[in-house]
Amino acid sequence: MHLAKLTNCPWRILRSVVRRESHPYQIFQIRKRSGGNRLICAPHSILMRAQRWIHDKILLSPGALARLSSASSAYAPGCSIISNAKRHVGAKWMVKLDIKDFFESVSERQVYHVFKDLGYPSLLSFELARMCTRVAPARANGTLRPREYKWRWTNTARVAAAPHADIRDLGHLPQGAPSSGMLANLAFAPQDREIEKIAEEYGGEYSRYADDIVISLGEVTKVDCERILSRVARVVTLAGYRVNHTKTRVYGPGSRKIVTGLVVNDNVPRLTRQYKDDLSLCLYHIGRHGLLSHMAVRHSVKPLGYLNHIVGKILFAHSVEPAFGRRCMMELRSAMSSHRELYSMIDELELRRGGEAEFESLHADIF
């Protein structure tokens, strides 16, 4: 009841979530850039409000942040794709490993222990874990999840006194909930520290951006890198996670090295050639054929939404390579000059986005 007041959420709804009497998520898939689909579980508005409160007041508290590994580069304040990539610029060797189904691999049991380790009582930790997880009776491909140790409550009587003692199936972190990122980081913190020690043995730099593990190294051999990869994979699998072998490899001197989508071969991160070419080609077609004609080819039906997408890509480009970003925004302005009504939407978009201080100076200079 107290938590319901703090989160401004109806107590009966939170109770139904804890007891698994409702399934307040919208489930859909989005296509991955690397191929395949990603399952998104977006909580309904009331549950999202509770999860956001848990994220802001508990998971971003000084005590919780102190438990994070310094190698964890996603979801925490001050972390970004760019800051993660900067840690690996100029590396001679690089070991990359990807964790398969990262969020779905974090069980309700692990989430319970995250809250318990932060000092919350057993029952409250159990209820918080219930609010931040969902039960998936089957995987995305339709196969049942194996009843491994971490997917069952074995101490139900202790952590879940009545009326919750009859609930034994465990949930997992839903990708799409505001609390999932930090909870996944905190659950993986012990493994972060183990992997960090392995990297330090070879004078390497370790970071993890969500499911993307990277160790950059200097004067080592390929045998050293393969040994590191084997040891890191063992740490990951022993903790109950699965390695995505299609995205796991060793990069040597002279090979192009990409970290969180940015090229890190030089002393500063840079955009990939494909990213720049795709954006430039898009702007070219808008200028040549008009926005609406280009949208028809891309099967997009909402001008404002598509402009938001383009401006977002330019904003990201500017944060990595300012000169290229400025040039792209000037091209967009020129291309939209014959679409005055839609062109004015760019200003509206930036007002809606909010908090994009870096773009504000760019916007002022160009417009």
DSSP 100-143: ETTGGGSBHHHHHHHHHHTT--HHHHHHHHHHT-B--SS-TTSP
- How many residues does this entry show for the chain? 367
Q: What is the pLDDT of residue 88?
A: 97
The closest alpha carbon to 132, from 29, 57, 54, belongs to 54
What whole-number distance in Å separates Cα of residue 21 and Cα of residue 209?
Answer: 34
DSSP string, 247-276: EEEEE-TTS--EETTEE-SSSS-EE-HHHH
Q: How far is CA 99 from the centre of its chain?
A: 12
Q: What is the pLDDT of residue 147?
A: 45
What whole-number distance in Å separates Cα of residue 337 and Cα of residue 111?
Answer: 52
pLDDT means per 10 residues, the chain with 367 residues, are: 82 91 88 77 94 96 94 90 95 96 93 96 94 75 49 46 51 94 97 97 96 96 96 96 93 95 95 96 84 68 77 94 94 75 56 48 37
Q: What is the pLDDT of residue 360?
A: 42
In Å, how far are 5, 122, 147, 152 from 107, measured between CA atoms? Answer: 27, 16, 11, 9
What amino acid occupies position 56?
Answer: D
What whole-number distance in Å separates Cα of residue 328 and Cα of residue 316?
Answer: 11
Q: What is the pLDDT of residue 119?
A: 96
34: exposed, middle or buried (C-beta count within 10 Å: 0-12, 13-18, 19+)?
exposed
Q: How far is CA 236 from the centre of its chain?
A: 18
State the alpha helices, DSSP H only, in the chain: 2-7, 11-18, 45-54, 62-67, 81-86, 108-117, 122-131, 156-159, 180-201, 222-238, 273-289, 291-297, 303-320, 322-335, 340-343, 345-353, 357-366
Q: What is the pLDDT of residue 30?
A: 85
Q: How far is CA 185 from the centre of its chain?
A: 10
- Within 13 A of 21's CA, how many CA atoms are on the CB side? 10
Asked if 189 and 72 count as a contact pair (C-beta separation under 8 A), the reply is yes
The model's pTM is: 0.82
